[in-house]
Amino acid sequence: MYVYIYDNFLRNKKFESAIKAIEVRLTDYGIAGKILRLNNYTDAKPVIDDEIKRGAKTIVIVGNDETFGHVLSRAATCECVFGFLPIGPNNTIANVLGISVGVEACDVLSRRRKEKLDVGWMNNRYFISQLHVLPAKVEVIYDERFKAYANDKMEVVVCNLQPFYWKKDSKSREQYVVHPQDRKLEAFLRPLTKKGWFGYKYEEPSIFPFEEMEISSREPFTVEADGKISKEIKVKIKLAHGKIEMIVGRNRKF
Amino acid sequence: MMFQKPNSKQLADVEILAPIQSVVASEDNVETIVGPSVNVEGDFASEGNIIVKGSVAGSVHTSRHLAVEFGAKIMANVRAGSAQVAGEVRGNMKVKESLELLSTARVTGDIEAKTLVIEAGALLFGKVMMPGLEESKPKSTRGGFGKKSEEIAAVV
């Protein structure tokens, strides 16, 4: 039995035709099901647990990267198969999973090609897409073996499924994309240096693949993980292997 | 037989091979990069290639390729499958395959490598050891005569 979780932004009229087309395709495939609408303050875990008790086997997230992270970061421990139907802008994870944006995503869903995805774990909660530490004077300890630090502030981005984009230099027009799909989390460290009168400037990022990492600082720093923002002094990040069973496409990046 | 259509089993085999190749390719491309403004301290090890543009203190270990770029500083003992140095290294280097010192390389420490390439301008201060050519010691036939012959040689 399929249960579809729609994000709140899909109420907008401009997505009406896309949603109608998707619902018709799902009915054609015989995989239409119950529709639930997500609000900003809804916790997805108890909702999904209830549906699983009622017999749901597949929970399908309908929305964008933010919806994906919001639902899975809370429902990573639920015993079910997850699917994803990306609609609208801000959909980078869909490409990584080999799922097209729009109606074609239903074809991927109907084939039910399943893969177990790794999930990041941070201070008693999970993150599926990306973890972002805003620029602060932090120190990073990798696998309890070595530490990395910059002379001044540093921004840290830990990627699981959501790729990280940055420009190689100010003159280059192309953006260099890294897809971290190698059974390890990848941390991107971008130090900031003061350049004369113009304030801080980002330096070239460092890349460290790892399984366990600790970020610490003397002062609290801001951490954003899948849309949830908090202030921490110490953050422990680990990789949880094969936590989520997901329906993916043939053209996935891993 | 030559123009037979591939059967479904052969097609399935090809499909199975393709994803495995892509996984292997991605493992080969895994890189650790230490940026120019980043300092690393401790037992720095990686399963993939390492590119150092900043500073590293402690020890560096990789079974694959290590690149030390111009401006980078390594105050550590280094073990790598192969290496290319254009920066500064203060420590012993043990490289399994080839070690290349570019013109801006400054190495202070002993180096051991199978193949060594030194560009004009590179500076090296330390011992160099390469397999295949070992120091040979003179053989002595009898203990007594051997000792006397050594004494005579010393006197002469």
Q: Are residues A17 and A74 in the same domain?
A: yes
Q: What CATH number corresponds to the domain at position A22? A: 3.40.50.10330
Contacts of A182 in chain B (CB under 8 A): 26-27, 30
Does residue A62 lie in a domain region?
yes
**Strand partners of residue B62:** B46
Contact A151 B53 (CB under 8 A): no
How many domains are contained in chain A? 2
Q: Which residues of chain B have pLDDT under 70?
A: 1-30, 134-156
pLDDT per residue as tens digits for the range A49-74: 889 999 889 999 999 988 888 888 88
Does residue A90 lie in a domain region?
yes
Q: Are residues A144 and A205 in the same domain?
A: yes
Q: Which of A82, A112, A142 is the last residue of a domain?
A: A112
Does residue A216 lie in a domain region?
yes
pLDDT number for residue A201: 76
Contacts of A190 in chain B (CB under 8 A): 35
Q: Are residues A88 and A6 in the same domain?
A: yes
pLDDT per residue as tens digits for the range A70-117: 888 888 888 899 999 999 888 888 888 889 888 899 999 999 999 888
Q: Are residues A33 and A83 in the same domain?
A: yes
| CA-based nearest residue to A127, from A92, A90, A175, A161 | A161
Which residue range is the domain that position A60 belongs to? 2-112
Q: Are residues A158 and A216 in the same domain?
A: yes
pLDDT at A173 over 90: no
- Residues A24-40, mean pLDDT to the nearest whole number: 89
Per-residue tokens: B57: 């203190």
Task: Please report the residues numbered 70 through 99 in chain B whose beta carbons come closer than 8 angstroms to any beta carbon of chain A.
Answer: none
Q: Are residues A221 and A191 in the same domain?
A: yes
Q: Which of A63, A82, A112 is the last residue of a domain?
A: A112
- Concatenate the DSSP letters of all residues of chain A into one string: -EEEEE-GGGGSGGGHHHHHHHHHHHHHHT---EEEE--TT--HHHHHHHHHHTT--EEEEEE-HHHHHHHHHHHTT-SSEEEEEE-SS---HHHHHT--SSTTHHHHHHHT-EEEEEEEEETTEEESSEEEEEEE--EEEETTTEEEEESS-EEEEEESSS-EEEESSTT--SEEEE---SSSEEEEEEEEEE-GGG-EEE-PPEEEEESEEEEEEEEEEEEEETTEEEEEEEEEEEEEEEEEEEE--TT---
Does residue A169 lie in a domain region?
yes
Question: Checking DSSP bridges between strand B106-108 and strand B93-95, what pairing results, if any?
Answer: unpaired
ipTM of the complex: 0.74
Which of B37, B64, B69, B77 has the most A C-beta neighbours within 10 Å, making it the best mutation to test the interface with A?
B37
Q: Are residues A227 and A197 in the same domain?
A: yes
Q: Output the average pLDDT for chain A.
A: 85
Q: What CATH number corresponds to the domain at position A189? A: 2.60.200.30
Q: Are residues A129 and A90 in the same domain?
A: no
